[in-house]
């Protein structure tokens, strides 16, 4: 199982930014694909907080989940996911990722940092 940034972005827009996002955050966060992304993501390091997240899910502790949502790492992820840009070509040889803005070489079909596909 591998969650790419576009799938996570769809999850974020549908489940987290929707109506009453705080009320459903714990439920949304318990998606196994989201947990897997948080644990395996190399760009943003959530490994130190994943145990607390799992404990909040196991205990159905909305307050702990919302505390995680207020963390600087989650805020960074929200900023990345909130961007409504698409992948763009910059100069023919390199292309800029519209999700994380990394400049990738033309032979990369996916962003080397976040895994988003080249448009």
Whole-model pTM over 0.75: no
Contact 65, 29 (CB under 8 A): yes
- Shortest CA distance to 106 belongs to which of 118, 43, 114? 118
Task: Note the pLDDT of residue 53.
Answer: 93
Task: Note the pLDDT of residue 66.
Answer: 92
Pairing of strands 103-105, 94-96: antiparallel
Question: What is the helix (H) or strand (E) element at residue 63, kind and residue range?
Answer: helix 62-69
Contact 65, 25 (CB under 8 A): yes
Confidence of residue 95 (pLDDT cuts 50, 70, 90): confident
- Shortest CA distance to 68 belongs to which of 33, 100, 28, 41? 28
The SS3 of residue 118 is: coil
Confidence of residue 85 (pLDDT cuts 50, 70, 90): very low
């Amino acid at each position: 199982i591998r969650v790419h940034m576009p799938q996570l972005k769809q999850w974020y827009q549908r489940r987290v930014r929707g109506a009453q996002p705080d009320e459903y955050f714990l439920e949304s966060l318990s998606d196994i694909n989201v947990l897997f992304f948080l644990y395996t993501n190399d760009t943003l390091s959530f490994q130190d907080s994943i145990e607390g997240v799992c404990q909040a899910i196991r205990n159905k502790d909305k307050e702990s989940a919302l505390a995680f949502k207020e963390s600087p790492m989650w805020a960074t992820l929200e900023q990345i996911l909130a961007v409504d840009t698409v992948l763009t070509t910059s100069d023919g040889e390199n292309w800029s990722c519209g999700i994380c803005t990394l400049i990738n070489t033309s032979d990369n079909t996916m962003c080397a940092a976040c895994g988003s596909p080249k448009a």
